[in-house]
Structure 1
Amino acid sequence: MPKTDTILSAKALRYFLQLTETMNYTQAAQILGITQPALTQQIKKLEHAIGAPLFGQVGKKLYLTEAGKKMEAASSSLLDTISSVINDIQEFTQIDRGTITIGILKTIDLPIFNKFLATFKNKYPNVVLRVETYERERLWQLLDTNALDVAIMYLPDNTRRDHINLHHQYNHLNVVDDEIVILSHDPDLEANVSYPVGEFVNSKWIAYPDTFYLTQIIRDSFGPKHSMDIVGSFTDSRDLVNFATETNYNTFVTRTFFEQHRDSISLTPVFLKRNRKFNISIVYSKSKVEVPRIKNLIDEWKKYIN
């Protein structure tokens, strides 16, 4: 083993850097809380290991040699790296430090989860929460590449059955059972009643884009015999409802969205018979529970929801 392996410790580097700041053995030793002979011995060992003097002296004044100048730059870089690695390890091993990245499907509006995050943040102020909204395919992509810790999305997601095995690769917690609510202008329809698909085959629709989960769900509910005449689309639920209200077109939203905004919606809410049910779920890779802060978030959510 080279002798530098036993000499170039973090402690030795800190002693050296402290001496470069004060250029005085007595002051540096006092700041470090050691004796001057102990500091002198450490510097001599460091110089012996390197094979070159780090300090020169003119009268009583110290100065850095060329080797000392290079050692100063290298020591700062090494200590920064060590500190960074320690921080990374601490973030990985501690429940109350580090960053948690959360992706939420754009069409999901879930105040209870926002309230939970506020409660969680108050309890663990040193955990950084990064929350963004995404479309479904982007959410899966970020989960698959480990760029997201947790996703809030709809399940079951049949569009992914050929790409992943949810049971083997991911865990999920159901948050809310949900379904689609149709918002209609038809005065003959009774609110909160379920109607067969045939009641709507001649309707024109404002919908989410075709790639959105909810549009695919309602198309599946209509079945292969009945097509939907979609004349426009919006990505935001509020825009969808507002535009439908100002026109003669039908639209649809989730029951959770409707219940939150019931007072501001004037269209008649009805349901499809054989309406497909789905869940708003928290989805995360099974490997994520090995990270203490992620496991803690999941555990805190379970306690909160109970």
Structure 2
Amino acid sequence: MQLVDTMNYTQAAQILGITQPALTQQIKKLERTIGAPLFGQMGKKLYLTEAGKEMKVAASQLLDTINSVVNNIQEFTQSDKGTITIGVLETLDITILRQFLTKFAEKYPNISINVYDFDYEDLWRELDKNMIDMAVMYLPDNTKRDEINLHHQYEHQLIYHDRLVVLTHKNTVEANKEYPISRFLKRKWISYPQNYYLTNLMKNYFGSKRKPNVVLTLPRPKYLIDAAENTKMDTFVSREYYVTHKNETTLTPVYIQNDKEFDISLVYLNDKTNIPRIQNFLKEWNIFLDKKDYSSRLEEEKKIQ
């Protein structure tokens, strides 16, 4: 299923944490057992054969069944055993989360923690399918999802009040001041891709009759800042990211006047709190933030960097 997702042996092997030859041999073994090839190749591109399509459907059903059974069993196990799977919005900086996970893993070595990156809509889908236990993401939700109805069945915990930061080459603005969006209408932008949360925020600030002049789109905040540094174009990132990476840019940080804060939140299904290991995780997370809040930890991390 991982190879189906990536259609690339090298990427799939890296994600699975095995070598490419090992993955190739496993696929070949499966094909020998079935008696038909699952993947074909056209040039350098892989594609699913008819047998592969049938196996994909069956494998997906099997995985759903296994994950459901394992999850049900682990709900009744001890609080210091089991697996916790966390999905993180791919544009988020997880420096503080990593600090916590390291401490948690030291205290509870028998709990396996898996962390994966997702875009915003895939993150909701994984939550909805119960493929991940919790997500670290932005709220409020500003996407339009016709296939996902996710409101009343979820709980969330606030982690950090965030804000969009514009990083500009303009020499007529002062750092950390607020300016109307009209000051930036003629600027050229390096932006996140179209469906990203912060991209939609920026579009809302420009309004329905105007849109930012986006020349280049990149998926990660570091890429945006690096590209903006080497051009005359402006960009934007979250305040959370900027605080811990401000030494990486000479661009001037400013805010959009009358903008709206958004929250980095921990989101999970209501019934997750009935699972002992999740209860333990949330308890330890709250203790971690009670000792030093998220904002203070960000400032501390900035000094270290």
Give the structure-1-normalised TM-score. 0.69
- State the alpha-carbon separation in 2 of the partners of residues 162 and 219 from structure 1: 21
Cα 1:263–1:87 shift into 2, 3 Å: closer
Aligned to 1:254: 238
Aligned to 2:110: 126
Match of 1:173 among 147, 157, 176: 157
- State the alpha-carbon separation in 2 of the partners of residues 238 and 121 from structure 1: 28
- State the alpha-carbon separation in 2 of the partners of residues 220 and 275 from structure 1: 9
- State the alpha-carbon separation in 1 of the partners of residues 146 and 220 from structure 2: 28
**Displacement after TM superposition at 1:295 (Å):** 1.7
Aligned to 2:89: 105
- State the alpha-carbon separation in 1 of the partners of residues 147 and 262 from structure 2: 20
Amino acid at match of 2:156: H
1:232 aligns with 2:216: yes
Amino acid at match of 2:101: L
- State the alpha-carbon separation in 1 of the partners of residues 251 and 241 from structure 2: 14
Cα 1:87–1:214 shift into 2, 3 Å: closer
Aligned to 1:182: 166
Cα 1:173–1:166 shift into 2, 3 Å: farther
State how 1:34-49 maps to structure 2 within 5 Å. Answer: none
Match of 2:187 among 203, 208, 213: 203
Aligned to 1:141: 125
SS of the equivalent of 1:168 reads: coil
Residue ranges of structure 2 left out of the alignment (5+ in a row)? 1-68, 291-305
- State the alpha-carbon separation in 1 of the partners of residues 209 and 179 from structure 2: 16
Equivalent residues of 2:128, 2:148 under 8 A apart: no
**Displacement after TM superposition at 1:91 (Å):** 6.3
Aligned to 1:221: 205
Cα deviation digits, residues 175-205 of structure 1 (max 9, x gap): 0110100000011111111000100111110
Cα 1:132–1:203 shift into 2, 3 Å: same
**Displacement after TM superposition at 1:256 (Å):** 0.9
Cα 1:86–1:207 shift into 2, 3 Å: closer
Equivalent residues of 2:162, 2:239 under 8 A apart: yes
Aligned to 1:290: 274
SS of the equivalent of 1:224 reads: coil
Mean Cα deviation higher: 92-101 or 174-183: 92-101
**Displacement after TM superposition at 1:239 (Å):** 0.8
SS of the equivalent of 2:152 reads: helix
SS of the equivalent of 1:181 reads: strand
SS of the equivalent of 1:269 reads: strand
Equivalent residues of 1:92, 1:98 under 8 A apart: no
Equivalent residues of 1:100, 1:129 under 8 A apart: yes
- State the alpha-carbon separation in 1 of the partners of residues 75 and 83 from structure 2: 8
**Displacement after TM superposition at 1:165 (Å):** 5.6
State how 1:61-72 maps to structure 2 within 5 Å. Answer: none
SS of the equivalent of 1:158 reads: coil
Give the structure-2-normalised TM-score. 0.69
Residue ranges of structure 1 left out of the alignment (5+ in a row)? 1-84
Amino acid at match of 1:136: Y
Amino acid at match of 2:154: Y
SS of the equivalent of 1:157 reads: coil
Amino acid at match of 1:132: Y
Aligned to 1:264: 248
Cα 1:164–1:138 shift into 2, 3 Å: closer
Cα deviation digits, residues 71-127 of structure 1 (max 9, x gap): xxxxxxxxxxxxxx9997366421110110001000000322111111111110000
**Displacement after TM superposition at 1:300 (Å):** 1.3
Residue identity over aligned pairs, in percent, reads 44
- State the alpha-carbon separation in 1 of the partners of residues 82 and 231 from structure 2: 48
**Displacement after TM superposition at 1:166 (Å):** 4.7
Cα deviation digits, residues 156-185 of structure 1 (max 9, x gap): 012157665654110000101101000000
- State the alpha-carbon separation in 2 of the partners of residues 264 and 304 from structure 1: 28
Aligned to 1:81: none
Equivalent residues of 2:140, 2:263 under 8 A apart: yes
**Displacement after TM superposition at 1:225 (Å):** 3.2
**Displacement after TM superposition at 1:263 (Å):** 1.1
- State the alpha-carbon separation in 1 of the partners of residues 286 and 195 from structure 2: 31
Q: Larger Rg: 1 or 2?
A: 1
